[in-house]
Structure 1
Amino acid sequence: MLNKYPLWKYIMLIMIIGVGFLFALPNLYGEDPALQISGLRGAELELADLDRIKGELDTNSIKYQSAAIVNNQVEVRFYDTEAQLTSKKALNHSFGEDYVIALNLSPATPTWLSDLNANPMKLGLDLRGGVHFLMEVDMSAPLKKFVEETVSGFRMDLREAKIRYRRVSEVKNGAQVEFKSEEDLDNAARILKKKYADITFKDSTDEGFILVGTLGELKIKEIKENALQKNITIIRNRVNAIGVAEPVVMRQGAERIVVELPGVQDTALAKSILGATATLEFRLVDQENDVRSAANGRVPAGSELFYRQDSGQPVLVKRRVMLTGDHIINASSSFDEYGSPQVNIDLDSKGGSIFSNATKGAIGKPMATLFIEYKPTGKRDHDGNPVFKKNIEVINVATIQARLGRSFRTTGLGSPQEAQNLALLLKAGALIAPIQIVEERTVGPSLGQENIDLGMQAIMWGFVLVLFFMAIWYKGFGLVANLALALNLVLIVGVMSMIPGATLTLPGMAGIVLTVGMAVDANVLIFERIREELRDGKGPQQAIHQGYDSAFSTIADANITTFIAAVILFAIGAGPIKGFAVTLAIGIATSMFTAIVGTRAVINLVYGGRRVKNLSI
């Protein structure tokens, strides 16, 4: 029978619309002013920390909605922004050195919706407010580090080959080796040229037997590109770890990175996260010299004195770096066979080879893990590169129990919490090159709210005018199209809320306005085709059937070509263009569903299987 849907189609339609309503619902609840409180350097917070924070708020008679530990951070919600600002000032005064305290906006979604994973749409910087940073990467640092590793590698390879040399030293973008004889120089050149294909070697016998290896332009470019890309990945991991919704981290030019953190109202928090420009190093502890003598100013040559991060105790370590944190690809905390805390570390293949050679002669010796932090000074050197202050702390000392390779464990940790913190530092990654914030900009939540209000006005005015036109021009069928249009907006919001990576921006709202018109366009084609069939003398049921079937190919062609354009915009675009492309693509998919399947289901329910003389069209 014409124009009859089976029961399963109506059930499917109701289920899809129900899911859309469910996931769109959290957007009606808004957000609460909140404080996001986390431990320094990612340390996990416990119930004692929560009670301490609650006690301070109660002491200052500050009213708050709730306070709980969420994702290893304390989240305190308030009734208004005045209480939020007052509490931040009070907590900073009492606990500023113990915690990172930041203003934030937390969704006020009911628990039953959150339990279903139904969360509000993520809003971009232009709608929600937040902070924008332009960061410059110090490209001299990765080059220097690569040269240092090359010098260390030359020494190791020559020792393994039992080739005598006077010394290995650094030169610009390379390393220089001095030998005692021409025979040693020739043997070394043969071995090193075979192992270091990316380095150009040149020997000289005019003023001694010297072999110089320098990096080519392609290798230098590769090192800089690799440093920039790894920095982007690590920064993205850092801001994701503190719960910033959909941060934007992308490169700008050859040496700069743009970071946008929607919803973050406190630039101090962002700087504390992004400015933690750090790396890790593994070195042997110097047991041959007295650490107390070194602490009094008599540091022996070939060693350096640093202090424990937790206790402040001095530790004397060798200058020679066994391995840097650049080669760590994973780390996790666990317990050894004796129930003591340990950290399991995985290296890349190159790091495994380097560490294996470095530790084979150091079994039974203590090894220190150094946390090296670079803090920007705001100054520049004569080459225009940013100048950083270097701070080094010892975060762990463990005994090497066997020759270490790609996977190893470090023990001797004081507590499971210390093991978790060390694993967090190792896994989060160390920036390959120091960075400095050269530009910062704050977009206030009031400006973001103004953008939202203006965008919503544009959507609602477009929606109302389209509803008015369809109801007047197509009568009863127009009302059905209007119902489908309303469902289309709900589904767009629901899908945007469901997709983890989807973020609504101001251009994205423009995409929604565009899809409102496109959704009605499909119904216009269908309804006009039904009118043509009626004018040709077809009966109402036949006209409805032919109208939907005949118009489908035209609607599909138009929407598919537009969808392809949206995919291209998303693939090659950036920032606002991507936001527009996302909402446009989602809007096309939902409008096809509501305009064709949705309206036909309603019309079949009203007219299908009945003797109808006239259609309200």
Structure 2
Amino acid sequence: MQSFPRWKIWLILSVLVVSVMASLPNIMSVPSWWPAALSKPMSLGLDLKGGVHLVLDVDVDKAVAHSVEEDVDTARQALRKAKIRYSKLANDGLVLQVSIRSSEDMAAAEALLKDTFNNYDIASAPDNTFLLTLKQAVADETRKFAVDQAIEVIRGRIDALGTTEPVIVKQGKQRILVQIPGYEDSAHAKQLIGRTAQLEFKLVDEKGDLEKAMAGSIPPGDIIMYGPEKVRSNGQSDRQPYLLKRHTELSGNEIADARVSIDSRFNEYAVTLKFNSKGAHKFDKLTAAHVGERFAIILEGVVNSAPVIRERISGGSAQITGSFSPAEAHDLAIVLRAGALPAPVKVVEERSIGPSLGQDSIDQGMNSVIIGMILVLIFMAVYYRMFGLVANVALIFNMVLIVAAMSMIGTTLTLPGIAGIVLTIGMAVDANVLIFERIREELYLGKTPLAAIDGGYNKAFSTIIDANITTLIAAIVLFQFGSGPVKGFAVTLSVGILASMFTAITVTRAIIALSTEKRSRIEKLSI
């Protein structure tokens, strides 16, 4: 029999030690000196740990409409800068309507619009009007970006809850699957995730007539917005109207941080905002140019407050007040820190899985692993005798290696993942079966026991590699294109295949080589 390289034995021992150390955190607490990379237990998925399952529908058409609405303001500023007078600026869905006062300005206006709005198809209409239609490719890209951005915003909000391994993936064109293992308050999760949290700073039109505007005569470039609903002493409720400049001076995109604070004037909870460098510069210019005027802080379409700018504010910070409870202030700080959703989201599916059901799933899954493993161990020991016991040792090593690898790479264990482990148990001994049957064939051909061992391993090697590589390719495809449970199954299957190839080809041969190396002649193999 060929001598087994010593470096391979040291490699196997090293892998065994690392695997045991990485697996132990799953069953016991490890000391503080334990290596950090080997101290992470596997995270349990929603179906094992319990938690919240939500499917969200993103209103992507609102994102497109909002983009076109912003372009109305862009068109207004461009026309004013070019000193081209207009009579109407409006948007209807994907169409932006621009009406020019003088026919003499039509050519200049057309050139300006084509240069400014290359994402639109521009057509002429009666009454000195241009119709700008958003290109379909641009609209589709805006819809896709809205979903991708919503995923990132939702991920930031959920991470702030302190949960581990949330699942946030895209489903179809405009839906998002959200799973939060170990979190049971579905109402709070929905409230936190669903808030658009759009924050805007607009100047109050101090010169405009609010009463005339309320009667329908709104000055060009102005809008009417309302404060929060307040209940009077007589039981009736009303909302304070504000006449504001349409242009947004600052938005939530310029916020770098948001923290819960205490408003010293009223001893109430508030949220203190810290702008990024760009936002701080804009806020500095805004407050310097409009001392003595009011600016409105608008959150989710409601005027939160409209304080007077007493002096220039160069610190790059502002404060939102509003009789918040501690929990409300904390949630508002979370959503402002994570950013605004690009479009409203609606919960279309909701499930809550209790931890007791999750524990039942763990128990049943572990029972299936244990029972499957015991049956395989018994079969191998009975059918292949001493060689079967060698395969059983390798199988136990294989299971330890799978748990260690999944712990180290931070995989979330799910029910399909447990199914993948059970499948791996059978596949792990399949390679040994091929090798042992090859050894039997070599013995039937009259070869000596040691030559039969060499022949069995050498001739079965290519078959084992081919079979496992094809299965591994299928697992990679499942991981790449699957989602949720399918990915969990693919991960455990991939790790199991790699571990079984290592244990079947290397570990069993090392054990057999060490047990036969000092015996020059063997009359019979127990196989």
TM-score, length basis structure 1: 0.69
Shift of 1:461: 1.6
From 145, 158, 163, the equivalent of 2:84 is: 163
Aligned to 1:543: 452
2:9 and 2:56 map into 1 onto residues whose CA distance is 54
Q: Whose Rg is larger? A: 2
1:134 and 1:396 map into 2 onto residues whose CA distance is 40
Change (3 A) 1:414 1:163: closer
Contact 1:280 1:372 survives alignment (8 Å) = yes
2:491 counterpart of 1:575: no
Aligned to 1:411: 316
Aligned to 2:199: 280
In the TM superposition, what are the counterparts of 1:563-602 in structure 2 within 5 Å? 563-602=472-511
Aligned to 1:473: 383
Shift of 1:491: 1.1
2:362 and 2:414 map into 1 onto residues whose CA distance is 9
In the TM superposition, what are the counterparts of 1:100-111 in structure 2 within 5 Å? none
Aligned to 1:319: 246
Aligned to 1:90: none
2:440 and 2:487 map into 1 onto residues whose CA distance is 39
2:108 counterpart of 1:187: yes
Secondary structure (helix, strand or coil) at the match of 1:133 reads strand
Contact 2:287 2:309 survives alignment (8 Å) = no
2:468 counterpart of 1:559: yes
Q: Deviations over 1:465-495 (max 9, x none)?
A: 1111111122211111101101111111111
Moved more, 113-122 or 430-439: 113-122
Secondary structure (helix, strand or coil) at the match of 2:197 reads strand
Aligned to 1:27: 26
2:257 and 2:80 map into 1 onto residues whose CA distance is 34
From 131, 137, 142, the equivalent of 1:223 is: 142
2:409 counterpart of 1:499: yes
Aligned to 1:269: 188
Letter of the 2:304 counterpart: E
Moved more, 508-517 or 217-226: 217-226
1:547 and 1:397 map into 2 onto residues whose CA distance is 87
Aligned to 1:3: 3
Which stretches in structure 2 are left out of the alignment for 5+ residues? 211-217, 229-240, 259-272, 321-329
Shift of 1:587: 0.3
In the TM superposition, what are the counterparts of 1:442-453 in structure 2 within 5 Å? 442-453=352-363
Change (3 A) 1:394 1:560: farther
Percentage identity across paired residues of the two chains: 45
Contact 1:305 1:317 survives alignment (8 Å) = no
Aligned to 2:68: 147
Secondary structure (helix, strand or coil) at the match of 1:4 reads coil
Q: Deviations over 1:191-216 (max 9, x none)?
A: 112321222223234xx322222324
Q: Deviations over 1:102-159 (max 9, x none)?
A: xxxxxx7765558555222122222221111122333443233212211101011112
Which stretches in structure 1 are left out of the alignment for 5+ residues? 30-107, 292-298, 308-313, 334-340, 348-354, 374-389, 403-408
Contact 1:397 1:412 survives alignment (8 Å) = no
Contact 2:435 2:460 survives alignment (8 Å) = yes
Moved more, 258-267 or 132-141: 132-141
Aligned to 2:56: 135
Contact 2:227 2:302 survives alignment (8 Å) = no
Secondary structure (helix, strand or coil) at the match of 2:86 reads coil
Aligned to 2:304: 393
1:370 and 1:492 map into 2 onto residues whose CA distance is 54
Q: Deviations over 1:526-584 (max 9, x none)?
A: 12222233333333333322322221111111100110111111122222222211111
Moved more, 272-281 or 596-605: 272-281
Secondary structure (helix, strand or coil) at the match of 2:177 reads strand
In the TM superposition, what are the counterparts of 1:33-112 in structure 2 within 5 Å? none
Contact 1:281 1:371 survives alignment (8 Å) = yes
Secondary structure (helix, strand or coil) at the match of 1:537 reads coil
From 250, 256, 265, the equivalent of 1:331 is: 256
Contact 2:160 2:334 survives alignment (8 Å) = no
2:175 counterpart of 1:250: no
Aligned to 2:516: 607
Change (3 A) 1:203 1:414: closer
Contact 2:195 2:335 survives alignment (8 Å) = no
Alignment: residue pair count: 484
1:24 and 1:398 map into 2 onto residues whose CA distance is 60
Secondary structure (helix, strand or coil) at the match of 2:180 reads strand
Letter of the 1:127 counterpart: L
Shift of 1:586: 0.6
2:62 and 2:311 map into 1 onto residues whose CA distance is 29
Secondary structure (helix, strand or coil) at the match of 1:463 reads helix
Aligned to 1:12: 11
2:403 and 2:392 map into 1 onto residues whose CA distance is 17
Contact 2:58 2:147 survives alignment (8 Å) = yes
Letter of the 1:492 counterpart: I
From 89, 99, 122, the equivalent of 1:178 is: 99
Change (3 A) 1:557 1:142: same
From 484, 496, 499, the equivalent of 2:394 is: 484
Change (3 A) 1:369 1:491: farther
2:444 and 2:374 map into 1 onto residues whose CA distance is 30
Change (3 A) 1:570 1:598: same
2:311 and 2:456 map into 1 onto residues whose CA distance is 79
Compute the RMSD of aligned alpha carbons.
4.0
1:568 and 1:13 map into 2 onto residues whose CA distance is 30
Shift of 1:498: 1.3
Contact 2:68 2:91 survives alignment (8 Å) = yes
TM-score, length basis structure 2: 0.80
Secondary structure (helix, strand or coil) at the match of 1:439 reads strand
Contact 1:109 1:119 survives alignment (8 Å) = no
Secondary structure (helix, strand or coil) at the match of 1:610 reads coil
Contact 1:281 1:322 survives alignment (8 Å) = yes
Q: Deviations over 1:502-538 (max 9, x none)?
A: 2222121111111111110111111222223333333
Aligned to 1:68: none
2:10 counterpart of 1:124: no
Shift of 1:165: 2.0
2:153 and 2:24 map into 1 onto residues whose CA distance is 34
Secondary structure (helix, strand or coil) at the match of 1:201 reads strand
1:393 and 1:608 map into 2 onto residues whose CA distance is 83
Change (3 A) 1:454 1:475: same
